[in-house]
Amino acid sequence: MLYADDEVIFQSGIDWKHLLFLIRKAVCIMHEGDYSQPIKPYLRYSNPKNRIIAMPAYLGGDVRVAGLKWIASFPDNIAKGLPRAHCIINLNDSLTGVPLAIFNSALISILRTASVSGTILEEYIKGKTERLKVGIIGWGPIGQYHYRLVNEYFYPYIDQIFIYDIRIIQDLDNVKSFSNIQTSISNSWEELYVSSDIVITCTVSDSPYINMEPKKQALLLNVSLRDYLPSIYKYVKNSIIVDDWDEVCRENTDVEIMHKEFGLSKEKTTTMYDILFGKKMCTMKTVPIMFNPMGLAIFDIIVSHHYYQIISNEKSGIIL
């Protein structure tokens, strides 16, 4: 069985174009029904803000691999100088159940998250003639890798990036040293929000706070799922995208609150398949668009399988 950690994953390289392709492939396989993905359970104890989530899945097509992501999220770790998230992913041969690999790697989960956002962003920028402004709220690992995605893959389309975090951002000079795009720190989320065509929320907020009308044609990548007050619904009610309704309409997400307060239903949302393969983004570009990704295990499985293949070929991991 192969074992690899964050360092091995990082040294294997980050090919954003291929990662976005893999997410699209997983969405297509899911649409064809060749997958299995139970609703993920949340394990909570003691402090209710902490959680450990089990995410099992099988993905068919030409991938044909099963696995489990076991991810712990403890927001108070940040104040202790520890990572908020710790993640273990194991892969099994789908025919025999034999373990293939185990990854002790939050990086795979981070790359998956940014790549899912990237597929929606890729559709959004199609046909855009003006260069866009991006705002990232939250400068933890998820925010930083969304920054890398935008800076490294979408830079021809982006004019400026704004960053805001409730904590002091101390590494911006280092960030600017390798940036392709003008980058600045905003004084508040409000300042960033009104200036951005694309708003990416990457926080650990446990209560909503965004209550402002977005730009008329803004893309709201609601990665952290708990930043928007229900009043946002009146601006995005006809342009809400989800990765999976049954997953995202629970656990006190913005989607669940809009469902309870305004009657948002599955039928009133748009799927990732509709956006990536059904050209539905074209019908939304005159209104603010809100993407709500709960995070699907099939995405973790296909990204993990990709790195399993690379590491196996390079023989850079540890064989147990």
Summarize pLDDT for 149-207 with one digit per residue, the tens: 999 999 999 999 999 999 988 777 777 777 889 999 999 999 999 999 999 999 999 89
Q: In whole angstroms, give the CA distance from residue 166 to residue 226.
A: 16
Structure tokens at 77: 């770790």
pLDDT in tens, 98-157: 999 999 999 999 999 999 999 999 999 998 999 999 999 999 999 999 999 999 999 999
Domain ranges (residues) in the chain:
2-109+297-319, 115-292
Give the CATH number of domain 115-292: 3.40.50.720
Residue 12 makes CB contacts below 8 A (sequence gap 6+) with 307, 310, 311, 314, 316
Residues 6+ apart with CB under 8 A from 94: 58, 60, 64, 65, 66
- Which residues 6+ apart lie within 8 Å of 96 measured at CB? none
2-109+297-319 CATH choice from 3.40.50.300, 1.10.3720.10, 3.30.1780.10, 3.40.309.10: 3.30.1780.10
Give Cα 204 to chain centroid, integer Å. 13
- pTM value is 0.96
